[in-house]
Amino acid sequence: MSQSWHSLFLPEAEPETVISALRSVLIAHGYAEYDPFPGGTGTPPKLAATVRHFVSPVSDGWVRVLGEPDDDVLHAFHEALDHPVIVGWLTGEDGGFALLHGGERHDDPAVFADYLHPDHSPDTLARAFAGKIKVKALDPDLPPVAVLGAESLPPELQQFAQQQGVDATKANKLVERLGGKLLGRFSNDAPDAPDQAHAMLSGAGRAPDIWNSLDGQRVRAIASVLNLPDNWRLPTWQQVRDAYQVFRLRARSPRMMLMPGDQEAMDAVPDALNYTPVYMGKSKESL
């Protein structure tokens, strides 16, 4: 699965301070800044590593840093700011939230008490972290799709698949072999269990929406309990990058004809130029 999502959330922070700290720490770790957008310096050749961020303007009291961070730099960034940082991520392998506070990384739900939405309780937060809160599929026309694999299936499905001699990573065969037996097994547990089982297994053979995966549903459940900004998930890094590219190009050549997709990119993030790119690269000699 090629989709991924990474964001850093900083409460009551100033974008300029975040940008300065991010650049300084990356430079200290051997990175050099570059600007690949229209009118910029371009992308240096033969980069061995890159970090590509966009720093958002303040939203609901939060600054969001979009893009996958260098894990080796995260702690230094946190210490340079001397500010709590919530780390959010979702990939094809896992997803969740962690808190950088006091020089340490914390994954216990209890440490998020200060960031709990006033409408929710610590118990609800713990249940969200445990994956026990249901969320709806983002696209109402499509069921939630699991990232199928031995580790992503619930324990009871893992055991049942093993008993049937089924490779849990092959969703189509899993559906074909287990179909009626699986739904029948679930129907004894809860009235809506067959629908849940079907939703989890359906969609095999097509690229699933990562946000409808089991990890994606868990991340969305956690975010709904935390007092994060409304734009915690969107726009995506890809949407900001695409819109920023078009707006920079239009600023240099206002009369240039729009290419297919340009208007959609600008409409998706009309304030893209309010985001600040922090693109840094490292050569092999710096590794």
Query: In this predicted model, what pLDDT tens digit does every residue of 146-163 receive, in sequence order?
Result: 333 333 444 444 444 444
What distance lies between CA 173 and its chain's CA centroid?
A: 29
Cα–Cα distance between 171 and 202 in angstroms, integer? Answer: 8
pLDDT at 87: 98
pLDDT at 207: 54
Sign of CA dihedral 198, 200, 204, 206: positive
In the beta sheet, which residues pair with residue 5?
A: 90
**Average pLDDT score over residue span 17-40:** 96
Cα–Cα distance between 65 and 10 in angstroms, integer? Answer: 8
The token pair at 18 is 């975040």
Examine the pLDDT at 44 and tell me if it is beyond 90: yes
pLDDT at 260: 95
The token pair at 96 is 């969740």
Q: Enumerate the domain spans of the chain.
A: 5-135+214-286, 155-207
Q: Cβ atoms within 10 A of the Cβ of 237, count?
A: 19
**Average pLDDT score over residue span 46-52:** 94
Q: Which of residues 13 and 138 earns the better pLDDT score?
A: 13
pLDDT at 268: 97
Q: Which of residues 285 and 185 earns the better pLDDT score?
A: 285
What's the pLDDT tens digit per position in 251-284?
Answer: 999 999 999 999 999 999 999 999 999 999 998 7
Examine the pLDDT at 100 and tell me if it is beyond 90: yes
Q: Which of residues 22 and 103 earns the better pLDDT score?
A: 22
Examine the pLDDT at 145 and tell me if it is beyond 70: no
**Average pLDDT score over residue span 100-119:** 94
Q: Which of residues 144 and 246 earns the better pLDDT score?
A: 246
Examine the pLDDT at 247 and tell me if it is beyond 90: yes
Q: Residue type at 237? A: W
pLDDT at 143: 44
End-to-end Cα spacing for the chain = 28
Confidence of residue 209 (pLDDT cuts 50, 70, 90): confident
Whose tokens are 């998020």? That residue is: 112
Q: Residue type at 195? A: D
Examine the pLDDT at 24 and tell me if it is beyond 60: yes
pLDDT at 189: 43
The proportion of the chain whose per-residue pLDDT surpasses 70, expressed as a percent, equals 74
Provide the whole-model pTM: 0.77
DSSP conformation class of 1: -
**Average pLDDT score over residue span 15-19:** 97
Q: Is the peptide bond between 229 and the residue preceding it cis, with omega within 30 degrees of 0? A: no
